[in-house]
Chains A and B, each alone.
Chain A
């Protein structure tokens, strides 16, 4: 018979990265992965090649990041019900990020966490009218405002979503 730890269901969080043009994205993503690992959740990253490569270069031994998948493949697999995750966290700093978040919410029917940052975070947060948990901060170059938000909400997020 396996131990409780061995028989416990493995939880995975899908982190959907946006275009890496906002400097804080990779740092915040890795900090969030660290936090998720501390809660026993394995982070899986979806993004375009540049976003994934920034994570790969920053965490070459995969201390924090788990599997990394192409964003279009990921959306296709979610739509085809080939994959599902315990948590969905979408990084949003532009309209495309909102579109990806809406798509994942619609496909999965789950409440997603929207990490909204960048120069226009308030306008972007205001444009989201589908069900999600918005975690927003004006973080462009300085990751601390978003780090503080993550510290506040992560325990709740892993317990309630």
Chain B
């Protein structure tokens, strides 16, 4: 599985707060999963202020990604296997 920085992704929000990321996912994604910090997405432990929302639209995943020097981004990428794994958490 690819690491996040090698994925082909779109930046939806940049320098966002986790509340802004949550609000965006709630308003714009057809479904979402709530996870705790440390949940692994693309093999990387997710950083953030809980609750962390990961959005799903078919095979497209919308998720926050934090870097120490650059703050938090909301990214969107298509990955059928990872979307299915995350969607399965809802059941």
Contact = CB atoms under 8 A, between A and B. Distances in A.
Q: Is the interface of A mostly helix, strand, loop or mixed?
A: helix
Given A103-B38, A107-B38, A18 B49 contact: no
Q: Is the interface of B mostly helix, strand, loop or mixed?
A: loop
Nearest to A105: B37
B49 A48 contact: no
A76 B87 CA distance: 22
Interface residues on B, range: 20 to 34
A8 B15 CA distance: 45
Interface string A71-93: 11001101100000000000000
A19 B69 contact: yes
Interface string B17-58: 110000000000000000011111000111111100000000
B62 interface: no
A58 interface: no
Contact of A19 (B17, B18, B44, B68): B68
A79 B70 contact: no
Contact of B71 (A72, A75, A94, A107): A94
B90 interface: no
Contacts of A107: 36-38
A76 B49 contact: no
B79 to A, nearest CB: 20
A96 B67 contact: yes
A48 B70 CA distance: 12
Interface of A: 18-19, 21, 47-48, 51, 71-72, 75-76, 78-79, 94-100, 102-103, 106-107, 130
